[in-house]
Amino acid sequence: MERIGKNHNLIKMIREMNKSNPYEDLIASDDLEVLKVVLKYNLEIPYLLYSFEQNYQVDTLDLLNQLKLRAQACFEISNHVYEGIKQKDNHAGILAVIRIPQFKLEDLGDFIIVLDHLEIPGNVGTIYRTLDACGASGVIFIDAITKRNNLKLASSARGTNLILPTVNSTYKDTLTFLLDHQYTIYLGEPKLGHNYKEYDYQGKIAIVVGNERFGIQEDWYKHPHQKVYIPMKGNNNSLNVGVATSILAYEAATKRNEFK
C-alpha cells in the first residue's frame, strides 16, 4: 500500500475538487452515507485514501475493507494530511474519488424531473433525495449552474445524485426530446393552471421546475404543456423549489402507484 504526503499530485487534485471541482465525471467524498451508496450500487472508485493513524470502529473498518477491494488504487495518508483534504469535521478518515455514472436522455424513463437553471446546491440535493424516495426515473439539468459533481450538492443528496440517472442538457435539446417522445410536460407554477392534485400524472411525464429567482424560462409556454400550482396561504408568493418539487413529485408518484 503506497503512503503519500501532502505534496502528492492526488492530494493536490482532491484539494482542487473540494474548492471548485473541474472534473465533470468525478467527485470526492468522505461522507460515510455516500460511501455506502457507492458500494451498494457498485460505482467505480478510481482512488481511495484513508488515514493509517485513525482508530476505526468495527463497522467503519468493515466499510473501509470493502472499499479497498473495490478501489482501483489505494493510498495511506497521515491524519495531518487528511486534515488538508477533509470535507466533514466529523469524518471517519476515509475519502473516495468516485466516477459519476453517465447517461443519455433515452435512459431516463417515464417519470422525469427537469431542473431548469437551478442555482443552489442544497435545493438540488433535497430534490435528489426526494426523487430517490418516490421512485422518479430520471433528472435533466438544463443549462445547470449547480452540477452533479458539486460537493455541497452531493452532501445534501446523501449520494442519490450518483445513482439517479441524470443528464446535463440544453433547453432546446431537452424540449425536442420530450416532444418527440410524447411526454406530457408539467410546468411548476406559483399560481397559474390547475391545482397539483387535479392531474393524474399517467404515462410519460416531465415535471419542470425553475430557477430560484427567475422561475421557468418563458419559451416553455410556447409549446404543449400543463400548468400546475400548489395552493398557498400566507404572505409569500412561492415555495422553496426543493419543497415544491418534493410535493409535486410525491403527488405524481402516488397517482402513478409507485408505492404499491
Whether residue 224 contacts residue 242, with contact meaning beta carbons closer than 8 Å, is answered with no
Contacts of 122 (CB under 8 A, 6+ apart): 152, 153, 156, 242
pTM over 0.75: yes
pLDDT at 191: 72
Calculate the average pLDDT of the chain. 93
pLDDT band at 176 (very low <50, low <70, confident <90, very high): very high
Which of 37-46, 88-97, 177-186 has the lowest average pLDDT? 88-97
pLDDT at 9: 97
pLDDT band at 110 (very low <50, low <70, confident <90, very high): very high
Rounded to a whole number of angstroms, the distance between the first and last alpha carbons of the chain is 48
Query: Average pLDDT, stretch 154-164?
Result: 92
Alpha helix (H) residue ranges in the chain: 9-20, 32-40, 58-70, 79-83, 121-134, 151-157, 171-180, 241-255
- More reliable by pLDDT, 161 or 193: 161
pLDDT at 235: 80
pLDDT band at 189 (very low <50, low <70, confident <90, very high): confident
The DSSP line for 6-22 is TTSHHHHHHHHHHHH--
Backbone φ and ψ of 108, nearest 5°: -85, -10
pLDDT band at 30 (very low <50, low <70, confident <90, very high): very high
pLDDT at 29: 94
Query: Average pLDDT, stretch 175-188?
Result: 97
Give tens-digit pLDDT for 211-242: 888 789 999 999 999 999 999 888 877 788 99
- Is the per-residue pLDDT at 181 higher than 90? yes
Share of the chain above pLDDT 70, in %: 100
The total of other beta-carbon atoms located within 10 Å of residue 220's CB is 20
- More reliable by pLDDT, 191 or 209: 209
pLDDT at 1: 76
d(Cα 157, Cα 237) in Å, to the nearest integer?
Answer: 26
**Cα-to-chain-centroid distance, residue 74:** 26
Angstrom distances, CA of residue 92 to CA of 48, 49, 153, 244: 13, 11, 20, 34
pLDDT at 91: 83
**Residue type present at position 126:** T
Give tens-digit pLDDT for 122-134: 999 999 999 999 9
Whether residue 168 contacts residue 147, with contact meaning beta carbons closer than 8 Å, is answered with yes
- More reliable by pLDDT, 80 or 145: 80
